[in-house]
Homo-oligomer: A and B are copies of this chain.
Amino acid sequence: MPARGGFRERAFHAWLRRSLRPGRGVAVGIGDDAAVLRLADKNLLATTDSLVEGVHFAAGTAPRLAGGKAAGRVLSDMAAMAATPRFGLLSLVVPPSWTARAVRRFVEEFEERLRRHGASLVGGDAACAPGRFVAAAALLGEPGARRPLLRSGARPGDLILATGSFGGSILGRHLRFAPRVREAIALARRLPITAAIDVSDGLALDLHRICAASRVGAVLEAGAIPVSRAARILARRTGRSPLSHALGDGEDHELLLAMRPSGRSRLERLHAGVGVPVSIIGRFGGRGVRIRDERGRERPLPASGWEHGSRGAR
C-alpha cells in the first residue's frame, strides 16, 4: 500500500491521458499501445538519453528542474543536427521517495519544454522500483535545414564556431541551460555549416569527437574561447584557471560547429539575428587537436581538457 500521495502507475497514466493536449501531427497520443503520428515528410531524426538521480541531478533537486534538464538534453541533441523537434517519449522508474505530485511536476516541465520547441509528448511509461529515479527520454525530429548536421562533415580549413560560453555549469546552468534549437536551424540555413555537435561532455572532448568523426585535426585559439562568468567564479574556488573549466567541465549544451571559411562575412552580418553570440574559436586542419595560447605557442589538447602544468602535461 503506497503512502498518501505515493506514486501509483495507473493513476499516473490516467493523469497523463487527461492532461496532455494532442499536438500537431499526433493522431493518437498517450493511451494506446503506441502513438500514431504523421510527419511532414519521410525523413526522421531520433535520439535517446537517460537522466539518473544522483548522477545527472542531486537528490532533493526540484522535480521541475530535473524534468527541464531531461527535456533539454534531448532537445540539445536535436539542435546539434539542426533538426526541428516533433515527438517525445518518456519512460520513468519511480522510487518510493518520489510522490505522485513530484512525478507530475517532472513530467509537466518535460512536456512544457518540448512544447516550447514545437514538440509533443506522445508516449509515457512508468514503473515503480526502489532506488534512484530514472527518466529515459526519446525525441524524434524532422530536418530543420537542407540536411542534418553530422559530426563527420568538418573539412581542413573550416572555422570552429561555438555558441554562448563555456565552463562552470555545475554552479546551476547544467539544470537551466537553453538548448540551441532555433539558433542551430538559423545557422544551418544561412551559413555554410559543415558539422556540429552539442557540448555535453566538455569543449575539449567534444572537439576531439568532431575531429575523429571528420578525420581532421584542429587548433583552438585559447584567447578566443568564450569563458563563462560561472567558470571564473568556480576557478576562484578550485584554484584552476577559468579556461580549464571552459575546456573540461561539460554540460554547457552549447553548439560546436564547423563552417567553411567563406561564411565568415555572412556570420558577422548575421550575428544579431541568431539569438546567441557565436564565436570563431579556431580552425580545423593539421594533425591532432591542439590549443594555441595568446603568445602563439601550440600544444596538444587532451580530450579531458587542459590545465597549465599537471593536467595539461598529462
Chain A residues in the interface with B (C-beta under 8 A): 28, 31-50, 52, 54-56, 77-78, 80-81, 83, 87, 89-93, 122-125, 127-132, 134, 136-141, 148, 150-152, 196-198, 213
Taking a contact as CB atoms closer than 8 A, the residue among B35, B77, B92 that contacts A46 in the complex is: B35
Taking a contact as CB atoms closer than 8 A, the residue among B50, B124, B140, B197 that contacts A140 in the complex is: B140
Nearest-CB distance from A172 to chain B (Å)?
A: 21
From A28, which residue of chain B is reached at the shortest CB distance?
A: B150
Question: Which interface residue of A37, A122, A125 has the most chain B CB atoms within 10 A?
Answer: A125
Q: Cβ of A34 and Cβ of B138 under 8 Å apart? A: no
Q: Cβ of B47 and Cβ of A141 under 8 Å apart? A: no
Q: A81: which B residues are within 8 A, CB to CB?
A: 32-34, 36
Contacts known (A48-B123, A52-B127); A31 close to B213, Cβ less than 8 A: yes
Taking a contact as CB atoms closer than 8 A, the residue among B31, B38, B91, B132 that contacts A136 in the complex is: B91
Nearest-CB distance from A106 to chain B (Å)?
A: 15
With the chains together, A93 CA to B150 CA distance in Å?
A: 26
List 16 additional A-B contacts (Cβ < 8 Å) besides A34-B81, A140-B140: A32-B81, A32-B152, A33-B47, A33-B77, A33-B151, A33-B196, A34-B83, A34-B148, A35-B46, A38-B44, A49-B91, A50-B93, A54-B130, A91-B136, A134-B134, A138-B138
Across the A-B interface, the 4 shortest Cβ-Cβ residue pairs: A136-B136, A131-B131, A138-B138, A33-B80
From A76, which residue of chain B is reached at the shortest CB distance?
A: B33
From A77, which residue of chain B is reached at the shortest CB distance?
A: B33
Q: Cβ of B47 and Cβ of A39 under 8 Å apart? A: no
With the chains together, A105 CA to B32 CA distance in Å?
A: 31
Taking a contact as CB atoms closer than 8 A, the residue among B31, B48, B87 that contacts A90 in the complex is: B48
Question: Which interface residue of A37, A134, A136 has the most chain B CB atoms within 10 A?
Answer: A136
Taking a contact as CB atoms closer than 8 A, the residue among B35, B50, B55, B124 that contacts A45 in the complex is: B35
Q: A90: which B residues are within 8 A, CB to CB?
A: 48
Nearest-CB distance from A143 to chain B (Å)?
A: 8
Q: Cβ of B89 and Cβ of A47 under 8 Å apart? A: yes
With the chains together, A93 CA to B122 CA distance in Å?
A: 23
Taking a contact as CB atoms closer than 8 A, the residue among B40, B43, B141, B213 that contacts A32 in the complex is: B213
